[in-house]
Structures are given as C-alpha cells and as structure tokens.
Amino acid sequence: MKKLLKVLVFIILVIYGSLYISGYGWFIEGVAKIYLTGHTTSYLSDYKVFDNNEIKASTDPQPWPIHEKYNTTNSSKFLDDYNLKTNTVAYLIIKNDSLFYEKYYDNYGPSSKSNSFSMSKSIVSALLGKAIIDGYIKSLDQPVYEFLPELKGSFSKEVTFEDLVTMSSGLDWKEEYYSPFSVTASAYFVDNLSSLILNQEIIEKPGESFKYLSGATQLLGMTIVKATGRNLSDYLYESFWDPMGMEKNAFWQIDRPKNGIEKVFCCIASNARDFAKFGKLYKDFGRWNGEALIDSAYVAKSISPRFKASPEYGYSWWLEKWNDKKVFLMRGHLGQYVIVLPDENLIIVRLGHSKGEISSIKSKGDVYVYIDEAIKMLNNIN
C-alpha cells in the first residue's frame, strides 16, 4: 500500500512538473477550483474561490419601485418547467421601470450574487463610452496602440477602440469554454493576465467583420485602465454603480491578489435587480435620474449593428427582433441575460446554472421563451 502511495505521489509530481515546465501550471488551479468542485466549466458562485476587487454598494441606494400588480400573476406551467429544466436561479420582469414579477430558485434571492460571465462585456462597453465623455479617450477611432505600444502583430497599429468593442479586432484567439487547455480557459486562471493578452497578436486586418473573442474585451479593458489611470472596479463604481444607486456590493474577479487586474471579459458578481439597471440605462439612452451618464449617440450606436452581415451584435450588446420589435440584451455564459424591449418599456432578467437552446436573430431559442412568457403574464393583468 505504501509503495502504491509513493508511486501515485511520484506520478502527481511528474504531471505537475510537466505542466509547470510546459507553461500550463495554471491548469492545476483550474482543476482545484473548477473540476474538483464538481463542475466542468466556470459557475455562478465561483467568485468565492477567486481573488476579487470589491465594488461597494451605492451611497444612495435606489431600489426598483414595486409595480402595483407585483407578483399577482402566476407564471405558466411551461415557464416553471422550463426554468427548472434549465436550472434558472432568478427570473425578473420590470415593466415601466417597476418590478412586476420576480421568482428565485435553488435558495437564491434578491441579494444573491451570481457571476455575470460575458454580461460584463456590455458594462465594459459602457465604461468605454464614459471614458470618451471624460476625455480620457479621444474617440472610437483612436488606435489602442497609443496606449498599449507593446501590442504585437502585423496589424497592431491599426486596431481601434471601435474594433475591440464590436468584436472585429483581428486578434489571434480561440474562443473555447470547455477545453481546459484553450487560451480562454487559461485567461480564467493565469496570475498575469496582461502578459497572456499582450502575447496574442493582431493577425488579421481589424474592422472588417464580426468575430466574437473574449480576448478583445480583455484588451479593451486593459486599454481603458491605461487611459484613465485607475482600475476598472473603481471606475465602474464612480461612473455607474454609485450614481445608479446599486443596492448591494459586488465583486469583480482579478488575476492575482496583489496589484491584480480585472478579468474584463467576464466575472462581475452581482444580483439580478442591480444587473437590470444597466438595461434601464441603455433603454433610456444613457440617462439616469435626468443626468447623462453616457452620451445618447454612443448608446444608440451601441445597440445597433456595426456590420450588415452580423445583425446580431452591436457594441458589446447582443441584438434580436421580437415580433419585428427591437430587442437588445446583455448575454453571458450559461444563459445570463438582461433583455430589453424598449418599445414595450420592458426589462427581463434571467440568471441560471445552465441554458436552453441559445437564441440569435437567425435561430429562436431561450431568449424568446423568456420574452413570450413575460408578455403573456403582462397581458393577464389587462
């Protein structure tokens, strides 16, 4: 038995050493924090096992007004079954800027934090708009090379802020969530995220076509940090979290505890009610309580496609059509959504452990379920 144990220890040490020498030392952390917790990918509460910057609750909390018909209409059996099947933890309907319906599952509640995953990309887009208003960045056309001269690749001097925020960066990046050795996975675990990103070259001419790459958003966030001279967590608090009256503190995962940078492509842990406020901000074209937090022209551009061939994506916001009406949304891994139907003055939030069939302009899926069911519930009160 002792001999077998020694052999196993030896094998583990050899594997660990091989991974470390080959540059995959971060894989050990991935195994410990993801796979050994029973998951095959990142998960809603994984912020608890990573280092984070804290984003404090607003000094002037602004709770959602409660609709006069709050939770008086029952959801359909179909929606209940669908939410159970897809492991939903939160489903909210906000009509005319009032909380009309909310239901939580799996011991989640109004204060429960959930990883945003790629919904954070829409928030980073808002930070870009704010940095332009604040004068840190001249315009969307400004080359990011002016802030990151270390950028590599044949087209490194050509890529602009607009190219990064519209996913047309030309970056050498493979977007894979379930491959443990992909660059996307490594970005989740490495303790020097800046180095990883700056080693990915701009290999294609930017600004030509849409190609969804998390590395592009990470590069965008790093450039905003250089431009503003502050970390993104502090800038987010000053720009939006505090003035929009976020009720709860939040966390933004960072790559290491000391002088770490935010994982910009993902990983703001907050609650459904506070996430929903970004939907309202964009529905109202950047205004909050009468104050312009972002330029309305930037918001209008953000929720419109840059490329005719890719009508499903704007400036880090996803785009849909529902009954020929405009829909824009924040979307994250495993089916995190803030869905906005501006013509209906309607915001829907869904958070969960897994998702149904993903939606796009060309293929109806779970987003349409959440919209259809919300509209049915609202029609029941008329």
| pLDDT, position 4 | 46
DSSP states of 154-178 as a string?
A: TTTTT-BHHHHHTT---B-----SS
pLDDT in tens, 70-105: 999 999 999 999 999 999 999 999 999 999 999 999
| pLDDT, position 182 | 76
Place of tokens 């330029």: 295
The C-alpha atoms of residue 50 and residue 124 are separated, in whole angstroms, by 20
The gap between the terminal CA atoms of the chain, to the nearest Å, is 73
Q: Which residues neighbour 230 within 8 Å (Cβ) at sequence distance 6 or greater?
A: none
Nearest CA to 316 out of 189, 190, 169, 194 is that of 169
* Structural tokens at position 1: 């038995």
CB 90 within 8 A of CB 350: yes
| pLDDT, position 41 | 79
* Structural tokens at position 346: 């309607």
Low-confidence ranges of the chain (pLDDT < 50): 4-24, 26, 361-362
Q: Which residues neighbour 349 within 8 Å (Cβ) at sequence distance 6 or greater?
A: 90, 91, 92, 94, 272, 273, 275, 276, 279, 337, 338, 339
Place of tokens 């939160």: 90
| pLDDT, position 23 | 47
pLDDT in tens, 170-183: 999 988 766 666 78
The C-alpha atoms of residue 382 and residue 379 are separated, in whole angstroms, by 5
The C-alpha atoms of residue 163 and residue 140 are separated, in whole angstroms, by 8
* Structural tokens at position 223: 């450039």
| pLDDT, position 21 | 42
The C-alpha atoms of residue 180 and residue 29 are separated, in whole angstroms, by 11
* Structural tokens at position 184: 């996307």
